[in-house]
């Protein structure tokens, strides 16, 4: 029996990167995990991989959080009467970088819609069962750039900073129901998103990290799973900075 046996987690953006690492760690510790992702083939591979490795119950939910119909279908799926989640990890996110002077409104709106508004809607769909049970844990994946700013990413930074405000407000709203809400702010982590950074930008950022290296998804997953564990029952409204000291 693992630490999370008997619990069920919903993880958005769960088919790769940080979300996949969180799902794998939870599954290895007995948790049932439901992964949400927009690419059906990649999602199925991820579900099968975790299931084969851990023997846990794993399910995929296909959802493009930037598409209204796809998101609405997913919301109906996770709101079914026979479903309840003890854990929610809002991890899904996209970047559409550009300087503010050149940024199109569509770039701004798309990032806000996926990174912030979808997280609000998914959280709202999951919360009623948590409130009824008077227990649950929500972890929102923000970013270290939400704390320090980053040129060329005003839309992404604003969406992730909004996630911090959402975390703290929600923590105050539902703490009396026995539900904790926290955020994790990763720094430069080895993911598909950061793999697209130009080598010069990547090297420059790495040189600013006191630990002198890029982080791993598993290291972020360890922080997320701590906040989901019983060891963090008296922690809420906090932002856990996992950036190797990039911001302090």
Give helix then strand counts, H and E, for the chain. Answer: 10, 7
- Is residue 156 part of the annotated active site? The answer reads yes
Q: At what angle do helices 105-112 and 154-174 cross, to 10 degrees?
A: 30
Helix, strand, coil proportions of the chain in percent (round to 5)? 50, 15, 30
Q: In the 8-state DSSP scheme, what is residue 229?
A: S
Query: Is the CB of residue 65 less than 8 Å from the CB of residue 12?
Result: yes
Q: Which of 85, 156, 234, 247 is catalytic?
A: 156
Residue with tokens 């919301």: 75
Query: Is the CB of residue 225 less than 8 Å from the CB of residue 22?
Result: yes
Q: Which residues are catalytic?
A: 156
């Amino acid at each position: 029996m693992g630490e999370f046996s008997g619990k069920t987690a919903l993880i958005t953006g769960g088919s790769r990167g940080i979300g996949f690492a969180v799902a794998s760690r939870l599954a290895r510790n007995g948790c049932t995990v439901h992964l949400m992702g927009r690419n059906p083939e990649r999602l199925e591979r991820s579900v099968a991989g975790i299931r084969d490795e851990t023997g846990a119950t794993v399910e995929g939910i296909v959802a493009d959080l930037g598409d209204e119909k796809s998101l609405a279908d997913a919301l109906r799926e996770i709101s079914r009467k026979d479903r309840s989640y003890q854990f929610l990890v809002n991890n899904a996110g996209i970047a559409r970088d550009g300087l503010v002077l050149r940024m199109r409104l569509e770039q701004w709106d798309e990032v806000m819609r996926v990174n912030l508004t979808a997280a609000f809607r998914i959280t709202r769909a999951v919360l009623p069962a948590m409130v009824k049970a008077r227990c649950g844990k929500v972890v929102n994946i923000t970013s270290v750039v939400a704390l320090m700013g980053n040129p060329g990413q005003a839309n992404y930074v604003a969406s992730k900073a909004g996630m911090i405000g959402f975390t703290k407000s929600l923590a105050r709203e539902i703490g009396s129901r026995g539900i904790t809400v926290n955020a994790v702010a990763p720094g430069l982590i080895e993911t598909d998103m950061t793999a697209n950074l130009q080598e010069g930008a990547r090297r420059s950022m790495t040189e600013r990290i006191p630990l002198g290296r890029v982080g791993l998804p598993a290291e972020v997953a360890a922080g997320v799973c701590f906040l989901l564990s019983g060891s963090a029952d008296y922690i809420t409204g906090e932002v856990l900075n996992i950036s190797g000291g990039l911001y302090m």
